[in-house]
């Protein structure tokens, strides 16, 4: 808690004191500019840092805000707050219309689309006679709220810093909220985030809309402090500068834009004072731009996570907050094995997963062909087969990452054949991945919290205001995550950074993350791969316990010892088709299975052939 209180107190102190200390109007102007730049960049951080995309229309959104406020107050006589909100709505709508289709695409289409959008807005403003063309128009009243007017420059400093503080609060709250965690997970790995119920395109669009709203609000503030608007400050160059501010500060932390905006202010000031003496009066703008461009490249090459990221790493190096390897707790008390399921369950057991005629073709290649499969409560079904047999494809089909060409998949009787991954997750199916995917920068507990996504409802905006309902849900999700961690014996690692864990712990953590969504079916993609003997034994014990609790487990695994020891039934695939289904003992002795694994036996004499003792 101390960690949270200190920065908040510091911010309040700065906002309270800054206007008292800074009394000359020049510096006050600088602070206002700094605040507006930081707010714009903060919006961008929501997009780049949380959703992994970048926009070059941030100045364009500021233009919408600025002109919206100007038109609203001057032309329509609306109060400033109403104008500001209306402008932000317009920005949000435009972004929604553009973001929905483009954010589905991979690559850098968004960057180009926003670049075009920014230019279009700029040209429209420049060409519009109604808005005064390139010279703009003035007469904008100062911002006022509840009869309070922000007229003199000192009150404007208060206003801008206060809005910035609200923005910062928003970004910080969002970062540790349900949707914020989902976005951060999305940024690292879309497939994994979707597997926990996150609708990627929608989440990204939300982040984009928010970033535009931040931009628009900053623009409104600009209009009310300058009391005059013209198109010049809203060109693409300013969008790029805002990106630079975000990158310099670091796009992964809401504090980054503050550092970045301060740096940009410093560059501007230095440029204005130094460049004229070196390159002449005319080169000020160009010199400043050059510095900005060069700085952008240097920061990317030397410290890609920005100043705040670099500070974070230094702090981690010199001031490790937690012991690097927390002490293992006393061996956990043996779990009560109350309902150890009998290997061959009674027929009354519920069917959790039912698959029929499942087929997936890639071009002419049939990766999975006509597979039937049934998975019950409290059962472990092993799926084995030589390399290329289609095991991973099968898991991807079941979890909605791939759509089947033919066949049907039912979870608890519900048809999910064509459902995308995030919907399948909501229906009680969880999965792990061959190589564990950790979300960089998240603690173990946060990682598992991502797994509770489907259990929550709080959206981004609601999460910002800590109402009792919001807090209650967050507490419930936390409790669920802690339960899942404890269940898997990882409770003592909750505060560790997830990607610093050993492979063995990461593999268990993936299972905990899956369990946090309270699934009825858990698909495990090679949970033992890369584990040492002791870790494998722990994994085996954990899976056995999960079965005991009634979860239906589908286990794809190459470690035959583990498979044979653990599973109730084995489903053998070869060339995507079912080769054999049986108990471990039956399958292991089956000549067809041995052939599939060890090769074709077409020798007439058995010299050099492998004999199998039954």
Partner 1 sequence: MTSQDILQVILTGVTNGSIYGAIGIGFVVIHRITGVINFAMGDLALIGAFAAVVLSKMLPLWLAVPLGIVVAAASSTLVYALAIRPLRRQQLLVQVIATLGVAIAVRSLLQIVFGSGAYQLEAFTAGPAINLGGATIARQALWVVALTVVIVVLLTAFFDRTMLGRAVTACAVNPFAAGVVGINVALMAALSFGLAGAAAGTVAIAQTPLSVITVLGGLTLSLKGFVAAILGGLDRIGLTVVGGVVLGLIEAATTIFAGSLYTTLAGLTLLLALLIFRPAGLTRLRVSTRV
Partner 2 sequence: MSIIEVSGLRFSYGPVEVLHGIDLKVDEGEIIAVIGPNGAGKTTLLNLLGGAYRPRSGSITLRGDDVTRASQDSLVRRGLSLVPEGRQMFSSMTVDDNLLLGTYARRREIDLDGQREMVFELFPRLRERRDQLAGTLSGGEQQMVAIGRALMSDPSVLLLDEPSLGLAPQFVDLIMRTIRRLRENGRTVVLVEQNAKAALRLADRAYLLEIGTVHLEGPARELARDPRVVAVYLGGDAAL
Residue of 38, 62, 87, 240 that binds partner 1 (CB under 8 A): 240
Residue of 195, 559, 569, 579 that binds partner 2 (CB under 8 A): 559
- 3-state secondary structure (DSSP) of residue 189: coil
> Applying CB under 8 A, does 289 fall inside the site for partner 1?
yes
Question: Measured at the alpha carbon of residue 114, what is the angle toward residues 73 and 242, in degrees to the nearest 5?
Answer: 70
> Applying CB under 8 A, does 274 fall inside the site for partner 1?
no
Q: Can you give the three-state secondary structure of 392-445, one letter per residue? A: HHHHHHHCCCCCCCEEEEEECCEECCCCCHHHHHHCCEEECCCCCCCCCCCEHH
Nearest approach, Cβ of 595 to partner 2 (angstroms)?
A: 8
- 3-state secondary structure (DSSP) of residue 79: coil
Stretch that binds partner 2, among 402-410, 414-422, 488-496, 586-594 (CB under 8 A): 586-594
> Applying CB under 8 A, does 322 fall inside the site for partner 1?
no
Nearest approach, Cβ of 134 to partner 1 (angstroms)?
A: 12
Kindly compute the dihedral angle of the four CA atoms of residues 570, 532, 431, 192, in this order, to the nearest 10 degrees: -150
> Applying CB under 8 A, does 105 fall inside the site for partner 1?
yes
Nearest approach, Cβ of 48 to partner 1 (angstroms)?
A: 8
Nearest approach, Cβ of 447 to partner 1 (angstroms)?
A: 20
Per-residue contact string for residues 482-521; x = within reach of partner 2 by CB under 8 A: --------------------xx------------------
Residue of 600, 604, 605, 614 that binds partner 2 (CB under 8 A): 600
> Applying CB under 8 A, does 581 fall inside the site for partner 2?
no
The residues with which 443 forms a beta bridge, in sequence order, are: 497
* Element holding 524 (H helix, E strand): strand 521-525
Sorted by sequence, the CB contacts under 8 Å of residue 178 that are 6+ apart come out as 449, 452, 453, 456, 458, 463, 473, 474, 477
Q: Which does 301 bind (CB under 5 to 8 A by kind): partner 1, partner 2, none?
A: partner 1
Residue of 14, 30, 90, 124 that binds partner 1 (CB under 8 A): 124
> Applying CB under 8 A, does 535 fall inside the site for partner 2?
no
Residue of 62, 63, 244, 490 that binds partner 1 (CB under 8 A): 244
> Applying CB under 8 A, does 561 fall inside the site for partner 2?
yes
Count CA atoms closer than 13 A to 139's CA, side-chain side.
11
> Applying CB under 8 A, does 94 fall inside the site for partner 2?
no
Sorted by sequence, the CB contacts under 8 Å of residue 242 that are 6+ apart come out as 37, 40, 41, 44, 58, 59
> Applying CB under 8 A, does 148 fall inside the site for partner 2?
no
> Applying CB under 8 A, does 438 fall inside the site for partner 1?
no
Nearest approach, Cβ of 316 to partner 2 (angstroms)?
A: 16
Residue of 283, 351, 461, 594 that binds partner 1 (CB under 8 A): 283
Residue 610 burial by Cβ neighbours in a 10 Å radius (0-12, 13-18, 19+):
exposed
d(CA 97, CA 608): 68
d(CA 612, CA 614): 6
d(CA 542, CA 323): 26
Between residues 295 and 461, which has the closer beta carbon with respect to partner 1?
295
Q: Which does 482 bind (CB under 5 to 8 A by kind): partner 2, partner 1, none?
A: none
Phi-psi region of 509 (alpha: psi -120 to 50; beta: other; left: phi over 0): alpha
d(CA 204, CA 211): 11
d(CA 184, CA 167): 18
Between residues 162 and 283, which has the closer beta carbon with respect to partner 1?
283
How many residues bind partner 1, per CB under 8 A? 52
> Applying CB under 8 A, does 104 fall inside the site for partner 1?
yes
Nearest approach, Cβ of 404 to partner 2 (angstroms)?
A: 20
> Applying CB under 8 A, does 169 fall inside the site for partner 1?
no
Closest CA to 95 of 138, 43, 160, 130: 43
Nearest approach, Cβ of 583 to partner 2 (angstroms)?
A: 14
Closest CA to 466 of 214, 253, 174: 174
- 3-state secondary structure (DSSP) of residue 581: strand
Write out the binding residues for partner 1, residues 445-504 only, by CB under 8 A.
Answer: none
> Applying CB under 8 A, does 111 fall inside the site for partner 1?
yes
Buried b (16+ CB within 10 A) or exposed e, 344-353: eeeeeeeebb
Residues found near partner 2 in the complex (CB under 8 A): 365, 386-388, 435, 502-503, 526, 529-530, 558-565, 575, 588, 593-594, 597-603, 608-613
Residues found near partner 1 in the complex (CB under 8 A): 48, 52-54, 56, 98, 101-102, 104-109, 111-113, 115-117, 119-120, 123-124, 127, 190-191, 200, 236-237, 240, 243-244, 247, 279, 282-283, 285-290, 292-297, 300-301, 304
């Amino acid at each position: 808690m101390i960690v949270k209180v200190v920065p908040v107190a510091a911010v309040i102190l700065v906002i309270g004191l800054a206007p008292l200390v800074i009394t000359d109007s020049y510096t006050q102007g600088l602070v206002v500019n700094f605040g507006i730049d930081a707010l714009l960049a903060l919006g961008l951080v929501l997009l780049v840092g949380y959703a992994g995309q970048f926009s070059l229309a941030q100045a364009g959104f500021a233009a919408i805000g600025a002109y919206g406020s100007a038109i609203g107050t001057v032309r329509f006589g609306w109060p400033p707050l109403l104008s500001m909100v209306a402008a932000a709505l317009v920005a949000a709508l435009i972004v929604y219309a553009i973001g929905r289709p483009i954010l589905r695409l991979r690559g850098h289409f968004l960057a180009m689309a926003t670049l075009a959008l920014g230019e279009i807005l700029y040209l429209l403003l420049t060409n519009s006679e109604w808005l005064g063309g390139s010279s703009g128009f003035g007469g904008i009243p100062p911002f006022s709220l509840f009869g309070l007017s922000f007229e003199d420059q000192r009150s404007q400093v208060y206003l801008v810093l206060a809005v910035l503080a609200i923005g910062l609060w928003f970004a910080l709250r969002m970062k540790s909220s349900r949707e914020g965690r989902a976005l951060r997970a999305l940024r690292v790995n879309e497939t994994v985030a979707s597997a926990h119920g996150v609708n990627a395109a929608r989440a990204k669009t939300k982040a984009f809309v928010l970033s535009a709203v931040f931009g628009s609000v900053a623009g409104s503030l600009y209009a009310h402090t300058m009391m005059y608007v013209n198109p010049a400050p809203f060109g693409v160059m300013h969008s790029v500068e805002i990106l630079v501010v975000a990158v310099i500060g670091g796009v992964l932390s809401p504090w980054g834009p503050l550092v970045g905006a301060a740096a940009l202010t410093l560059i501007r000031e230095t440029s204005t004072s130094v460049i004229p003496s070196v390159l002449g009066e005319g080169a000020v703008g160009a010199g400043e731009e050059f510095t900005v461009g060069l700085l952008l490249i240097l920061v990317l090459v030397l410290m890609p996570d920005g100043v705040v990221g670099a500070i974070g790493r230094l702090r981690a190096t010199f001031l490790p907050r937690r012991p690097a390897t927390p002490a293992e707790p006393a061996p956990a008390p043996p779990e009560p094995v109350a309902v150890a399921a009998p290997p061959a369950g009674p027929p009354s057991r519920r069917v959790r997963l039912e698959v029929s005629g499942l087929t997936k073709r890639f071009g002419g290649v049939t990766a999975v062909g006509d597979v039937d499969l049934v998975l019950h409560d409290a059962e472990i079904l092993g799926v084995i087969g030589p390399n290329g047999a289609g095991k991973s494809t099968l898991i991807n089909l079941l979890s909605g990452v791939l759509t089947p060409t033919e066949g049907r998949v039912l979870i608890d009787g519900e048809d999910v054949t064509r459902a995308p991954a995030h919907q399948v997750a909501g229906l009680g199916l969880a999965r792990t991945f061959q190589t564990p995917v950790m979300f960089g920068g998240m603690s173990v507990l946060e990682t598992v919290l991502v797994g509770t996504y489907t259990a929550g409802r709080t959206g981004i905006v609601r999460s910002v205001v800590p109402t009792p309902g919001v807090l209650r849900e967050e507490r419930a999700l936390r409790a669920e995550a802690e339960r899942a961690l404890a269940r898997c014996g990882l409770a003592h690692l909750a505060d560790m950074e997830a990607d610093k864990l050993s492979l063995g712990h990461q593999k268990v953590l993936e299972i905990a993350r899956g369990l946090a969504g309270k699934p009825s079916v858990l698909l495990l993609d090679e949970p033992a791969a890369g584990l040492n003997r002791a870790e494998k034994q722990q994994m085996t014990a954990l899976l056995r316990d999960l079965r005991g609790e009634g979860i239906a487990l589908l286990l794809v695994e190459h470690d035959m010892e583990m498979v044979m020891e653990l599973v109730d039934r084995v489903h053998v695939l070869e060339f995507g088709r079912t080769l054999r289904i049986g108990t471990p003992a039956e399958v292991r002795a089956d000549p067809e299975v041995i052939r599939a694994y060890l090769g074709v036996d077409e020798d007439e004499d058995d010299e050099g052939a492998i004999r199998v003792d039954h």
